[in-house]
Amino acid sequence: MNVDLILAEDTRTSGKLLKHYDIKTKQKSYHIHNEHRQVALLVERMAGGERMALVSDAGTPGISDPGFLLVRAAQEAELEIECLPGATAFVPALIKSGLPSDRFVFEGFLPAKKGRQTKLLMLAKEERTMILYESPHRLKKTLKQITEFFGTDRKISVSRELTKIYEETQNGSAEKVKDYFDQKEIKGEIVIVIDGKKGK
């Protein structure tokens, strides 16, 4: 499919890939810090006949990445939307965890501050497998909170840099996985998978 404009989370990152494939389509920056301001104008341009593609640095647009607002606005404007399936980190993380995958809930990122403890208390009662995204600078805090709210024996899995050269996954009790990452300098994109609460 040919498009007139590529909306990229980071044009520098996407530019490397486009250059590799000799794609010369113009790019425009579209990310979490500017998407609210740009949605109406982009939809207006698409309604006028422009075709656009949205790409993420890693993962799939709209899954804890910019995209949802644009898709919703485009739907409301009755524009046609196509989605090409791509990598989504939580799928391989769930599979590699060895935890039940027949029923699960994807929570994305926990609240950074306000509402965080309330969310953790709610999730501690969840019976389905839970999937969270986390940033490297908050991982140690989150793992500590998991041991506090879910218990030290709750089975969890932490995957880092999935499908990349430094990929790693640690499975085990919350305490064991926490102790492992307490000894490390943490980099990269992180997925946490938590076993659901078992019945009495």
The token pair that represents 128 in the structure block: 């389905």
Q: Distance between CA atoms of 38 and 1, rounded to whole angstroms? A: 23
Return the pLDDT at 66.
85
The answer to whether the beta carbons of residues 90 and 107 sit under 8 Å apart is no
The answer to whether the pTM exceeds 0.85 is no
Of the candidates 89, 46, 83, 78, the residue with the CA atom closest to the CA atom of residue 67: 83
- Superfamily of 90-194 according to CATH: Tetrapyrrole methylase, C-terminal domain (3.30.950.10)
pLDDT in the model for residue 58: 75
Q: Determine phi and psi for 48, rounding to 5 degrees.
A: -85, 0
Q: What's the CATH fold of domain 5-76? A: Cobalt-precorrin-4 Transmethylase; domain 1 (3.40.1010)
Q: At what angle do helices 174-182 and 139-150 cross, to 10 degrees?
A: 160
What pLDDT tens digit does each residue of the chain (200 aa) get? 799 999 998 999 999 999 999 999 999 999 988 999 999 999 999 999 999 999 988 777 888 788 899 999 999 999 999 988 777 889 999 999 999 999 999 999 999 889 999 999 999 999 999 999 999 999 999 999 999 999 999 999 999 998 888 899 999 999 999 999 999 999 988 999 999 998 76
Domain residue spans in the chain? 5-76, 90-194
Other Cβ atoms less than 10 A from the Cβ of 162: the count is 22
